[in-house]
Amino acid sequence: MEFFGLLVQDDANVLRALNSFPIMDKIFVHFYRSLLILSSITDSLTSYIETNRLLEFLKNSFEVDIEVYDRCIKYVETDIFVYE
């Protein structure tokens, strides 16, 4: 509960919370990987997942609005982007 306690603080910072509890990073990865296995997108926790298939899963399952520009992925409703 301490991890989620950090997230609800007024100065909440997800990165700070993950750095304070690095096991949560692994838990989130296993959680999402498990969802991908249940959705028949992959068959194991360690197999390679094509970027386009993963992004389609995120868009459809979590209603995430994503724009892809070559190797740059922008999450439209935020100021977050990822350069691959």
* 13 vs 17: CA distance, rounded Å: 6
Beta strands in the chain (DSSP E): 66-69, 72-75, 81-83
Nearest to 16 by CA among 29, 5, 7, 28: 7
Q: Where are the domains of the chain?
A: 1-49, 50-84
Nearest to 75 by CA among 83, 23, 67: 67
**pLDDT digits (tens), the chain, 84 positions:** 577 777 677 665 677 777 777 787 788 888 989 999 999 999 998 899 888 888 889 888 888 888 888 888 888 888 877 887
Strand order across the 66-69 sheet: 66-69, 72-75, 81-83
